[in-house]
Structure 1
Amino acid sequence: MNPPTFLNVDGVSRRRAGRAAVSGLSFHLNRGEVLGLLGVNGAGKSTTLAMLAGALRPDVGRIEIDGRRLDIHPAVARDAIGWLPESAPLWPELSVEEHLAAFARLRGRPKAEARQAAEAAIARLQLGDLRRRLAGVLSQGQRQRLGLACALVHEPPLLILDEPANALDPVQVGELRKLVRERAAAGNAVILSTHVLAEVVAVCDRVVILHDGILRHDAPLGDHAALEKTFFGIATGASA
């Protein structure tokens, strides 16, 4: 018996700056699954993720999480989604632990529970040595780790990551991949957006390829060489 669909994207389109950024996008995602959203820069990935996270509303189409439409139930985005944009939205004057407590409160956690959630996120992302450091003085890699901790602080069942390996060193990339697989093994859903094929191959179960805002491929990961040929064929216009 197939598991119930957790995320359903049905015919979603969005125009930005007078052009079609995403057109007629449809796909689904189950709990326990890691979906790679793959495409070259400008393919429409970030616009897609912003719509999935509830930050942008589609011009047409619908997005459902656990059977609830985001446009009708906007609180679903707050409760069910953890989103790490390509550039983590941090306040430079707050410390690492203040950020995490604030994000937990924004996600509806009471003050005492927010502190506990912040401590758990600090431990998970190994931020203990940075807990009192201001975000404004963090390195880019440290900011990325803090942004990921903020996305996870409320234990969301859906984690949305936009180029999460940016600025991470090889050891941190390995830790990120381990965390993603652990989230999936615990029954959560993960979307990892990247333009790097190796990142998809390393951690994803399924891959969706976007090009010029149009879904061009949606299939299980399968053979890596075949996926590479498909991706580069689409990116260069050699694939129909």
Structure 2
Amino acid sequence: MIQVEGLTKYYGEHVAIRDLAFTISKGEVIGFLGLNGAGKTTTLKILGCVLLPTSGRVVIDGYDAVRDPHEVRKRIGFLPDTPPLYDEMTVGEYLAFVAQLRGVPPNETRARVTEAEEKTALREVDGALISTLSHGYRQRVGVAQALVHRPAFLILDEPTSGLDPAQIRGMRELIRNLKGTHTVLVSSHILPEISETCDRLLIVHNGQLVAQGAEEELARKLGGGSIEVEVRGEKAKAVAALEGVGPVSVAYEDNGVVGLHVEASPELRPRVAQAVVGAGLELLRLDRGAQRLESIFLRLTQTSGAGARAPEVAS
């Protein structure tokens, strides 16, 4: 569906992205991660035919984004970080207007608007002025305008921004339901949402792609990992016993049973067992823990000073 080769963008003498290269298959849901200023928004705007690249090539559904931008725009839905809304319109009027701009036939417009509103839980505010909506509803209208023409490729820049927990859960379900029917690229700072909704990750740092792959694959490439421990006994004694193996955090405590997370290689499990028994605690469970997305992201984007780079694990 998407092929990106050597994508570079300069703003004057400043390079925002440099030599990005990746492919996205039809029906995939991809998470796009990076710190502020890493080049995420620039990349999304180029994919959305809002910006021209300085060099490189972007092909979407067989069409070159520079040579055939109008054909590409027909096939994409784009939610920018600030939704493009018209406050003087009602939700239904606005979505019908967007559908017409996107080439939806007039006899299909109402059905497409209804479909987009149902997917984003907006039916109840179809007749409400956009200016009267809360931030959460405005965000959902932004998603609906990106969906109304049934695009093959959907770009969502911070789709859960400003949503409450219930709305975030609904957005997560929406993105999951889009999988297969649409190809989706999601940029978000809410790492658990990326972890739960995306098939693969693209991670950029200082304008360059530093990693791509499934979360589990990146964890294996980076090494490290964690150990999950459950013991019966005093929490303070358990933490003190395990700090000699690696950084320790308490996951839960219930009726004398303590769950702990140790940031250490799973190969150190024998040392963990010895530390627990040596401290006079009862060992109830000892498992290999999955490396968390937050840990993966921080390791890939950490810098120790000017010009420092994250470890390269891009395939």
| TM-score scaled by length of structure 1 | 0.92
Q: Which piece of structure 1 moves more, 146-155 or 222-231?
A: 222-231
Alignment of 1:4-19 (within 5 A): 6-16=1-11, 18-19=13-14
Secondary structure, counterpart of 1:225 in structure 2: coil
Query: Shift of the alpha carbon at 1:227?
Result: 4.2
Q: Deviations over 1:69-89 (max 9, x none)?
A: 111111223211011001101
Say whether the 8 Å CA contact 1:41–1:195 is kept in structure 2: no
Q: Which residue of 2 aligns with 1:209?
A: 203
Secondary structure, counterpart of 2:58 in structure 1: strand
Q: Which residue of 2 aligns with 1:35?
A: 30
Alignment of 1:1-240 (within 5 A): 6-16=1-11, 18-186=13-181, 188-222=182-216, 223=219, 225=291, 227-237=293-303, 239-240=310-311
Question: What are the ranges of 5 or more consecutive residues in structure 1 without an aligned counterpart?
Answer: 1-5
Query: Shift of the alpha carbon at 1:176?
Result: 1.2
Say whether the 8 Å CA contact 1:85–1:161 is kept in structure 2: yes
Greater RCO, 1 or 2 (C-alpha within 8 Å, sep 6+):
1
Aligned partners of 1:139, 1:25: CA distance in 2, in Å? Answer: 37
Q: Which has the larger radius of gyration?
A: 2
Query: Shift of the alpha carbon at 1:95?
Result: 0.7
Aligned partners of 1:178, 1:78: CA distance in 2, in Å? Answer: 26
Q: Which piece of structure 1 moves more, 221-230 or 58-67?
A: 221-230
Structure 1 residues 127 and 13, CA, compared in 2 at 3 Å: closer, same or farther? same
| TM-score scaled by length of structure 2 | 0.71
Q: Which residue of 2 aligns with 1:3?
A: none
* Alignment root-mean-square deviation, CA: 1.5
Aligned partners of 1:228, 1:88: CA distance in 2, in Å? Answer: 27
Say whether the 8 Å CA contact 2:64–2:72 is kept in structure 1: no
Question: What are the ranges of 5 or more consecutive residues in structure 2 without an aligned counterpart?
Answer: 220-289, 305-309
Q: Deviations over 1:37-95 (max 9, x none)?
A: 01111111111100001111111001001221111111223211011001101011111
Aligned partners of 2:155, 2:77: CA distance in 1, in Å? Answer: 6
Secondary structure, counterpart of 1:13 in structure 2: strand
Say whether the 8 Å CA contact 2:18–2:208 is kept in structure 1: yes
Paired letter, 1:195: H
Structure 1 residues 116 and 200, CA, compared in 2 at 3 Å: closer, same or farther? same
Say whether the 8 Å CA contact 1:84–1:148 is kept in structure 2: yes
Structure 1 residues 15 and 182, CA, compared in 2 at 3 Å: closer, same or farther? same
Paired letter, 1:193: S
Say whether the 8 Å CA contact 2:31–2:201 is kept in structure 1: yes
